[in-house]
Each structure stands twice: as structure tokens, then as C-alpha cells.
Amino acid sequence: MGSIAIVGAGNVGQAIAGHMVLLGHNVRLFSRWESDFESIITNDGIDLSGDVEGHTEKPLLTTDLSEAIRGADTVIVAAPAFAHAYLSEQLAQLLEPEQLVVFQPSVLGSAVELARHFALAERTPCLIAETATSLYTCRLRGPAQVYIGAIKNAVHLATIPHTASQDALDRLSHYFGERYVPGTDTLSVGLANCNAIYHVPPAVLNIKTVEDGLGLPLHTLVTPRVAEVINALDQERLALAEALGVQTISFWDFLESAYGVTEGSYAERVVQSYGRQAFPEPDSLTHRYFTEDIPFGLVIWSSLAKQIGLSLPVTDSFINLSGIICGTDFEAEGRTADILGLQGLDAAAIKAAFLNGVTPLVTA
């Protein structure tokens, strides 16, 4: 039996917590809001369906972050991207060197941000890991009712420092088996987060169905031409990785590693990968496909690209168009090179920061 803390009580947090309880681990589930626990308390646990079936007992439920992580071997951050900044600031004051923290999933820069807060607090950092996507493809289908459409076959993981990834993989295997696999570094793994690639183009290019609240399965909105836009956006992400001196997987490679899909047109591969889950398109302009994938996906790609003189016209077009649609300045609200302390750095120095979490800003 292990001791694991889950930070974030949304669909992913509840899926992981419920599964870990079923496997017999000591589980703590944290949320800032007690209201997030009401359905779990009423239901006397969490109901899981899909790839994992069962009714679980309640984990420890707490709104006290210190109580959640104290003594836990492993801490999984399953909170939305917009929460990573404030959580990193708090976690840097609480985590001990012998602990492992995993941003699951991360968005590009989450591990760097936490490492920077450790340095600013003048505390010895713990082992920090991140993944490009959630191991669990899941949705809440009712109060404390989590449908797990898939537990992915393989999810890449990297650490700060980059030489310690095997330690993280060994510790995580106790909870998740061998499904986490080694990634090269947090820059390549962070850039491998394909959420914005799949989520943003069909949502933006089918905005009428979003505004009409039709709730169509997202994969049905990926026509052959929309799939070409997805590919064009993906090519810019890959170009950014190359310019920063790393390699990362394409969206189509991701579908192969996560879901075993290798054949068919781009649109057909999307259907094969996501058709089973049939998760719906956004139901509002405040859906996370807009408020998370754009400011903490597209914006940080664009920011790093501009700093090293790389043009990403498709990426910037989606940022600008989405900002008009949503009435939001996503660049002002999102993660940027400046926020991560990477301002003024060239490509080599940016890569170095993602390897070891060291930047001139925090070592001065």
C-alpha cells in the first residue's frame, strides 16, 4: 500500500482517487472548495465505470493542502492549468525533498514554474515530474459518477532534474503499473501536450454549434478539412520544438501511442481514437477548451516562438480569433516566457531551464 495525494477534485482527480482507493492505497483528495466534496459525501464514495468499474469508499477529503500532502509519497496535481501558478507557490512551501510531485497533465512550463518557486523560497526542491496528457481519459457523468473512457497505454513523463526520470517512473509504477514511460525532458514532454491541437480548431471552426449548445461529440466536428487545420497547427508546434532543440511527438503519433491508432485519414484516425468516448464539444465560451487550452497552450507556444524569432501564424490566428469570440485577452491572461522567468533567454538557455529548472532570474 502506498500513500498518494490528489490535488484537484474534478473528473481526473476523482478518477485517479477512486481508482487508487480500489487498488488499496491510502488516498487524500484536495480541493479548495468544500462544495466539490458534497456529492462524494452524499454518495459515500465515487462510482467508476468504463475501463475501471466499481464503487469506492471515500478517500480523505480536505481543503487543507498541507493535510493532503503531508507524509504522502507521491502528489498528483490534477488541477486545471490556471490553478498551477498559485498551487506551485504553495507547494514550494510544503513539499519535502523526498516527495514526488507529478503534474498530470501538465501544460508547458508547469515543472519549471514549481522549480522556480522552490528557488525563490530558498528551499531544496522535491522531485518534479510532468506528463503531456492525463493517463485517464474520463468525464463526470453525474455527481461522483466518473466514466473512464480509457486508461492510456503509454504516457510520456519527464522530470526536473532531467536525470531523475527513472526514479519517478519506478515510484509511479507502484500505483499505475508501467503505463508511464520515459520522456526526454520537460520541454519535449510539455510541448507534447496535444490538447490544444485537438480541442481548439473544431471548437472555434464550429462556433455556431457551441453557441447553440448542441453538445455534439467533438470528434464528429472534425471534418477532413478541419483535420487539415489540426495538422497545420500541429506542424507549427513541431517547428517550435525543433527551433528549441528538442523533438516531440506529432498529434498523429500521440494517437498511436495512446490509443493504438495507426491507419486511415487524419479525420478517420480522430474518430477511431475518440469515437468510443464521444465526449461533447464545449457547452459555453467559458469551457476549458477555450479558457485553458488557449492561454496555457497556444499562448506559451507563441510567446516562446516570438522570443526566438519564430513565426507561428496559425497559432497566433487562433489566439486572436478566439479572443474576439470569447471577449478575452488570452495573451494577457495566459502563461508567457516572462511569467516563467525565461525573458531574454535564447533557445539554448530556454532548453537548459527545462532540463534543470535553473534560470538567471532565480539564481541572481
Helices (H), 179-276: 186-191, 195-205, 207-211, 224-243, 251-259, 266-274
- Give the DSSP H or E segment for 176: helix 165-176
Contact 153, 51 (CB under 8 A): no
Q: How many CB atoms lie within 10 A of CB 33?
A: 9
- One-letter amino acid at 256 equals E
DSSP class per residue in 81-124: GGGHHHHHHHHHHH--TT-EEEESS--TTHHHHHHHHHHHTT--
Q: Which of 81, 93, 94, 88 is nearest to 111 (CA)?
A: 88
Return all residues near 235 (Cβ < 8 A) that are at least 6 apart.
none
Burial class (CB in 10 A: 0-12, 13-18, 19+), 115: buried
**Element counts in the chain: helices (H) and strands (E):** 18, 12
- One-letter amino acid at 225 equals R
Distance from C-alpha of 112 to C-alpha of 127, rounded to nearest angstrom: 12
| Rg, C-alpha atoms of the chain | 19
N-terminal to C-terminal alpha carbon distance within the chain: 43
Give the single-character DSSP code of 24: T
Question: What are the extents of the domains in the chain?
Answer: 3-191, 195-333
Q: Tell me, what's the pLDDT at 31?
A: 97
Strands 100-103 and 127-131: parallel
Q: Looking at the domain 3-191, which fold is it?
A: Rossmann fold (3.40.50)
Contact 56, 18 (CB under 8 A): yes
Predicted confidence pLDDT, tens digits, the chain (364 residues): 899 999 999 999 999 999 999 999 999 999 999 999 999 999 999 999 999 999 999 999 999 999 999 999 999 999 999 999 999 999 999 999 999 999 998 899 999 999 999 999 999 999 999 998 899 989 899 999 999 988 998 899 999 999 999 999 999 999 999 999 999 999 999 999 999 999 999 999 999 999 999 999 999 999 999 999 999 999 999 999 999 999 999 999 989 988 899 999 999 999 999 988 888 999 999 999 999 999 999 999 999 999 999 999 999 999 999 999 999 999 999 999 998 989 899 999 999 999 998 654 444 3
- One-letter amino acid at 170 equals D
Q: How many CB atoms lie within 10 A of CB 128?
A: 30
Q: In whole angstroms, what separates CA 268 from the centre of its chain? A: 25
- Residue 43 backbone phi and psi in degrees, to 5: -80, -5
Q: Looking at the domain 195-333, which fold is it?
A: N-(1-d-carboxylethyl)-l-norvaline Dehydrogenase; domain 2 (1.10.1040)
Q: Tell me, what's the pLDDT at 358?
A: 64
| Residue linked to cell 485519414 | 265
Q: Tell me, what's the pLDDT at 362?
A: 41
Distance from C-alpha of 203 to C-alpha of 79, rounded to nearest angstrom: 22
